[in-house]
Amino acid sequence: MKPVIAVIGRPNVGKSTLFNRLAGRSKAIVIDEPGATRDRNYAECAWNDRPFTLIDTGGFEPASEVEILVQMREQTKLAIEEADIILFLMDGRDGLTPADQEIARMLRMVNKTVFYAVNKVDGPRHEALVAEFYRLGVEKLYPLSAQHGPGLDELMDGVAAGLPAAEPLQDGEGERIRIAVVGRPNVGKSSLVNRILGYERTIANPVPGTTRDAIDTILVRNGVRYRIIDTAGMRRKGKAEGRAEKISVIMAEKSLARADIALLLLDSEEGVTKLDAGIGGSAAESGCSVIIVLNKWDLVEKDTHTIEQFTEDVRRRMKYLAYAPVLTVSALTGQRVSKLFDLIGKAYEARSIHVPTGALNNIFVPDLEQKFSAQDPNQTLGVRYITQAKSSPPTFIVFTAGRERLHFSTERYLVNQLRERFGFFAAPIRIQQRMKSPSTRKRKESKP
């Protein structure tokens, strides 16, 4: 396990900018707006060949009683408890504020190594801004520009020298199953993540749009290592309000691209909406295996046919996700949440299925052709050869006799038969067609 470094400070002092620079990519939302970061955000980093885990935190407001700011403050305190080293970032242009002084007093009571850094010192003309921060009574201050880089080497050289050695991973701690929790705003994504983890990992608030960054958390359960990715509520890009929300939607879509499995959350009380259907389409197109989760099931009035009616509505509104299993849960009470792991394990195993080419062409294709022609004697399937190009998601290359693309109904029949014969539970199946080229036919006809 790697040592942990937490970046803390007031809102809008440049914590996420520093986080992204050290992470080497734009993992945290960076805009000139206080409160863009709210939950803890993690990245795996290294400096001078010393690996560490970096935590970005929301703005720390010591005295605020606003609910969201109180929740952000609690998230920062959790990061401080988890960290081996703390980077306390302040804003040189704002000067030393009462909030900075209050945070510094709190850090003196924490038995952790603290590095005090003054950000937005972009050159010699700004160095005079640092002087008043010595009123904190610290021996060493690190002036830097997180945006442009000056001063960062000196700070991180000092941090790297103080890092404890990384501990070797134990059994079951290697990276394995990546799970993205997606859905429209306020369907209970953060509440479900917290219920899965067993503690308040992310801020769960009834105000839509509370989560903005894609928040990664590692969970080891029964020897299996999971990466749980809590994403921001996805809206249509044209409907997203404000720059932070638009960036959140884009980052949620990127989270799907790096996940193995998507948990698509729906609100059982509201049913399937047009936006739910759009998000489901994004999940299917990403190549993730998809599990549809009907949350807030405890709030639904039920009879003996309720689950069938809900499932039928989901299938009707999301026909392209006919392969996705449906599970009813309550993130609030924990009802059936543990069953998610059975479905996740089954879906992950199905992603690695690889069907031998011989089994496809010696048995599957002839049988498929016979069944297809039996349904309509005037038609032939036209499939000459099939091979599985890759897994995760399962992708097949189909060689056809003609020069026309397979009709969508024929392709759907082929996909359904592949799923029926070989499994691929919860996984999308990709079909790539290779058609007989005209030049090949001409060469054959010209032979004596």
CATH number at residue 107: 3.40.50.300
**105-126 confidence digits (pLDDT tens):** 989 988 899 999 999 998 777 7
Q: What is the pLDDT of residue 398?
A: 93
Q: What is the pLDDT of residue 174?
A: 52
Span 141-159, mean pLDDT? 92
Span 168-177, mean pLDDT? 58
In DSSP notation, 186-209 reads TSSHHHHHHHHHTS--S---SSTT
Q: Do 245 and 389 belong to one domain?
A: no
pLDDT of 143 strictly over 70: yes
Q: 367 or 118, which is more confident?
A: 118
Count of alpha carbons within 13 Å of 357, Cβ hemisphere only? 10
Q: What is the pLDDT of residue 172?
A: 45
Domain-located, residue 172: no
Q: Do 142 and 212 belong to one domain?
A: no
Share of the chain above pLDDT 70, in %: 80
Query: Rounded CA gap, 304 and 298, in Å?
Result: 15
Q: Is the dihedral of CA 317, 323, 328, 331 positive or negative?
A: negative
Q: Is 135 helix (H, G, I), strand (E, B) or coil?
A: helix
Q: The whole model's pTM is what?
A: 0.65
Domain-located, residue 370: yes
Q: What is the pLDDT of residue 296?
A: 93
Q: Return mean pLDDT, the chain.
A: 81
Domain count, the chain: 3
Query: Rounded CA gap, 72 and 80, in Å?
Result: 13
Please give the distance of CA 447 from its chain centroid, rounded to a whole number: 56
Q: What is the pLDDT of residue 175?
A: 57
Span 253-266, mean pLDDT? 86
Domain boundary among 130, 161, 192: 161
Range name among 37-41, 416-420, 442-446 with the lowest pLDDT average: 442-446
Q: Do 184 and 332 belong to one domain?
A: yes
Confidence of residue 208 (pLDDT cuts 50, 70, 90): very low
Confidence of residue 186 (pLDDT cuts 50, 70, 90): confident
The DSSP bridge pattern shows strands 177-182 and 215-221 to be unpaired
pLDDT of 235 strictly over 80: no
Domain-located, residue 232: yes
Residue that has been written with the tokens 């479900």 in this structure: 192
Q: Do 75 and 103 belong to one domain?
A: yes
Span 333-343, mean pLDDT? 93
Domain boundary among 161, 193, 228: 161
Q: What is the pLDDT of residue 123?
A: 73
Confidence of residue 439 (pLDDT cuts 50, 70, 90): low
Q: 141 or 384, which is more confident?
A: 141
Residue 213 CA: distances (Å) to CA of 26, 216, 316, 398: 11, 9, 32, 40
Q: What is the pLDDT of residue 26?
A: 54
Span 309-317, mean pLDDT? 92
Range name among 136-145, 293-302, 404-413 with the lowest pLDDT average: 404-413
Span 356-376, mean pLDDT? 85
Domain-located, residue 311: yes
Structure tokens, 63: 């005295």
Q: With contact defined as beta carbons under 8 Å apart, do 280 and 428 qualify?
A: no
Q: What is the pLDDT of residue 63?
A: 61
Domain-located, residue 371: yes
Residue 314 CA: distances (Å) to CA of 263, 271, 307, 324: 14, 8, 11, 10
Q: Do 51 and 120 belong to one domain?
A: yes
Strand-by-strand arrangement of the 85-91 sheet: 41-47, 50-56, 4-8, 85-91, 113-119, 141-143
Span 3-13, mean pLDDT? 89
Structure tokens, 3: 């040592």
Confidence of residue 353 (pLDDT cuts 50, 70, 90): very high
Share of the chain above pLDDT 90, in %: 36
Give the 3-state secondary structure percentages of the chain, helix then strand then coil, rounded to 5.
40, 20, 40
Domain-located, residue 169: no
**Paired residues of 87 in beta bridges:** 7, 115
Span 98-104, mean pLDDT? 91
Q: Do 255 and 338 belong to one domain?
A: yes
Contacts of 62 (CB under 8 A, 6+ apart): 73, 99, 102, 103, 106
Q: What is the pLDDT of residue 232?
A: 66
Q: Do 235 and 323 belong to one domain?
A: yes
Residue 82: other Cβ atoms inside 10 A: 13
Structure tokens, 21: 């620079």
Burial class from Cβ neighbours inside 10 Å (0-12, 13-18, 19+) for residue 446 reads: exposed
pLDDT of 264 strictly over 60: yes
Q: With contact defined as beta carbons under 8 Å apart, do 172 and 8 qualify?
A: no
Domain-located, residue 404: yes
Domain hosting 22: range is 4-161
Q: What is the pLDDT of residue 413?
A: 86
Q: Do 242 and 328 belong to one domain?
A: yes
- Looking up residue 388, the CATH number of its domain turns out to be 3.30.300.20
Q: Do 229 and 136 belong to one domain?
A: no
Q: Do 193 and 292 belong to one domain?
A: yes
Q: Do 327 and 223 belong to one domain?
A: yes
* Helix and strand numbers, DSSP H then E, in the chain: 13, 15
Query: Rounded CA gap, 93 and 367, in Å?
Result: 74
Q: What type of residue is 41?
A: N
Q: Do 365 and 231 belong to one domain?
A: no
Domain boundary among 114, 132, 161: 161
Domain-located, residue 47: yes
Confidence of residue 30 (pLDDT cuts 50, 70, 90): very low
Confidence of residue 369 (pLDDT cuts 50, 70, 90): confident
